[in-house]
Amino acid sequence: MIQTHQSLKQYNTFGIDHSSRYFVKASSAAEIKEALREARRMELPVLVLGGGSNILFTQDFDGMVVKPELLGIELTDRQSDRITVAAGAGVVWDDLVVWCVDRGWGGLENLSHIPGTVGAAPVQNIGAYGAEVGDAIDRVEGIYIDTLEPFVFLAADCAFGYRSSIFKTELKGRILITRVFFSLSAHPQSNTDYGRIEQELQNQPDKSVHSVRQAIIAIRSQKLPDPAKIGNAGSFFKNPVVTESLASQIRADYPQIPLYPADVSGYCKLPAAFLIEKAGWKGVRRGRVGVHTDQPLVLLAYEGAKGQEVLDLSLLICESVQEKFGILLEPEVNIL
């Protein structure tokens, strides 16, 4: 059923209280198509909303928000060493990770405890601790918003990149994902070389996917605030990719800055959190918004904060980092 003037406060992890002119939860492909037909009839823009963990509302949405709630996880194929699993777009992302880890299948354990839904994961190509969801995706199914025609994109067609995909670039606003298929390892060897995973695994009984998951949860819980307690969307900025020359210049002044490999030769990735901290923003609060005291990548929205206040703070941070390091940070969060 289509609702009108629906508050979106409970549907975004920043807890920003903006509203949508029309809002519909769709639990089947038929309901999705019905909502999209109605939006087309009324000539309304459409916003597909997953878990709301990667969006910042700065104003009301004068269109139709469609929230897919297609559920279900199933094993679709099993080979000697590979497992294929399908999950509906409305499945909570971490519920899928638990489902796979409990069966001893590898590929998603490093992406534990990330908020959001399965349908949103390919759009952002969510990643953490040396893993990206694009590495585990077999194919993505959905429909085109304008024609209601179905599509199937194999992983190679999704243009997965750092926090990006074809769904976030060329097809942004044009598609709605209904189901995602994942190719997992039946005999996993988890990537534990990133960050503090090996250190945290010392507190676990082994290096199984279950133990890796528990280590990741412990690390994330220490670094990231709970959106149920204070509004945030996790990492607000992408880690910038810069030339090795610029990275060397920065490292000459800050020898402790870690450098990570990039996908392009002659470039490397810098931790945005380090740059933000050195620009003086770690733990800073400005009225109803602020920067987390432990993880400078996380911007906080205290009770009553407006989306524009969060955006204004992010722009000030970008200005400071650019002035100090000559690097323009890009938001990881989608700003509406």
Catalytic residue numbers?
Answer: 163, 235, 332
Residue 321: partners with Cβ closer than 8 Å, 6 or more residues away: 272, 275, 276, 279, 327, 328, 329
Taking residue 10's Cβ as centre, other Cβ atoms within 10 Å add up to 10
Give the type of residue at 150.
Answer: P
Residue with the two structure tokens 């995602």: 180
d(CA 112, CA 309) in angstroms, rounded, equals 30
DSSP-derived letter for residue 149 is -
- Contact, 117 vs 87, CB < 8 A? no
| CA 157 to mean position of chain CA atoms | 20
Taking residue 5's Cβ as centre, other Cβ atoms within 10 Å add up to 10
Q: Retrieve residue 129's tokens.
A: 């601790």
Taking residue 274's Cβ as centre, other Cβ atoms within 10 Å add up to 19
> Given the DSSP bridges, would you call strands 175-185 and 19-26 parallel, antiparallel or unpaired?
unpaired
| CB-side neighbour CA atoms (13 Å) of 302 | 10
